[in-house]
């Protein structure tokens, strides 16, 4: 009879990526049933011959009485950015890449590599490097590191960037490196609570330093358990 050596407690399971993706799929399914507020601030620092500026918006992710998910702008969207222009890809990244979830349906699109161990905010973690296998036209993917809790194999932090940069002979669409922090919500799910970036984008016309902050707050589980009461109509006099 053969014996299999026991895996050291600090070693990651051999199928770590698949286990994380399963956990992430559960988190996504749960987050899709939460309302929350998302505040976005993008700052452009002054450069030679140019002033700085700022973009700011606040949105509530909500549900209609019929249970349909949507978002609503709170107050006014304001912007006085000078050289920077936020593109469709920037807003897509804010929705999909900055709060990156490494779900099972996207597992095929990435290669992974174990990169060691680390401790963050008292949480012992494994580090998993994630890279796209191939990027097809129109795709927005994540490239970077995931911090995975050893306790429950949940992602508690991600650091990297949205790819690809989009560059042609006339335009450049460059994207910053960012870090997203997650916290346990309702003592159960690790949801994004804060994303920040402070990067210098190397445009051909000259580098631009920018800063981005995204805050996710007021998470609340949506319960579609309201009832409709029908009252008997009063007779006409």
Residue 3 has pLDDT above 60, yes or no: no
What whole-number distance in Å separates Cα of residue 25 and Cα of residue 181? 18
Query: Mind listing the pLDDT tens digit for each residue in 187-229?
Result: 999 999 999 999 999 999 999 999 999 999 999 999 765 433 4
pLDDT score of 166: 96
* Per-residue model confidence (pLDDT) at position 16: 95
What's this model's pTM, rounded to 2 decimal places?
0.87
Is residue 184's pLDDT more than 80? yes
183: tokens are: 């916290």
Q: Which is higher by pLDDT, 101 or 216? A: 216
Mean pLDDT of 118-138: 95
Angle value at C-alpha 114, between 98 and 197, nearest 5 degrees: 25
Higher pLDDT, 1 or 82: 82
Q: What's the confidence (pLDDT) of residue 5?
A: 39
Element (DSSP H or E) covering residue 182: strand 177-185
**According to the model, what pLDDT value does residue 224 have?**
66
Tens digit of pLDDT for each residue in 14-40?
999 999 999 999 999 999 999 999 999
Q: What pLDDT is recorded for position 228?
A: 36
Tallying the residues shown for the chain, one arrives at 237
Stretch among 139-143, 154-158, 167-171, 179-183 having the lowest mean pLDDT: 167-171
How far apart CA 89 and CA 102 sit, in angstroms, is 19
- Quote the pLDDT of residue 229: 41
């Amino acid at each position: 009879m053969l014996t299999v050596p026991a895996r050291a407690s600090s070693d990651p399971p051999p199928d770590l990526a698949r286990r994380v993706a399963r956990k992430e799929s559960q988190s996504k399914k749960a987050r899709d049933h939460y309302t929350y507020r998302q505040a976005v601030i993008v700052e452009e620092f002054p450069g030679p011959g140019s002033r700085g500026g700022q973009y700011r918006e606040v949105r509530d992710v909500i549900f209609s009485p019929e249970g349909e998910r949507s978002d609503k702008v709170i107050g006014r969207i304001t912007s006085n950015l000078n050289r920077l222009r936020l593109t469709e890809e920037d807003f897509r990244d804010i929705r999909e890449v900055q709060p990156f979830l490494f779900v099972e349906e996207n597992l095929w699109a990435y290669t992974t590599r174990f990169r060691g161990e680390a401790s963050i905010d008292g949480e012992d973690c494994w580090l998993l490097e994630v890279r796209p296998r191939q990027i097809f036209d129109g795709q927005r993917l994540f490239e970077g590191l995931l911090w995975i809790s050893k306790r429950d194999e949940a992602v508690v932090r991600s650091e990297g960037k949205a790819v690809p940069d989009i560059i042609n002979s006339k335009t450049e669409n460059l994207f910053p490196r960012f870090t997203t922090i997650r916290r346990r919500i309702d003592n159960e799910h690790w949801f994004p609570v804060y994303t920040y970036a402070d990067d210098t984008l190397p445009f051909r016309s000259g580098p631009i330093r920018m800063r981005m902050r995204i805050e996710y707050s007021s998470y609340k589980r949506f319960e579609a358990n309201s009832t409709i009461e029908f009252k008997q109509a009063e007779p006409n006099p």
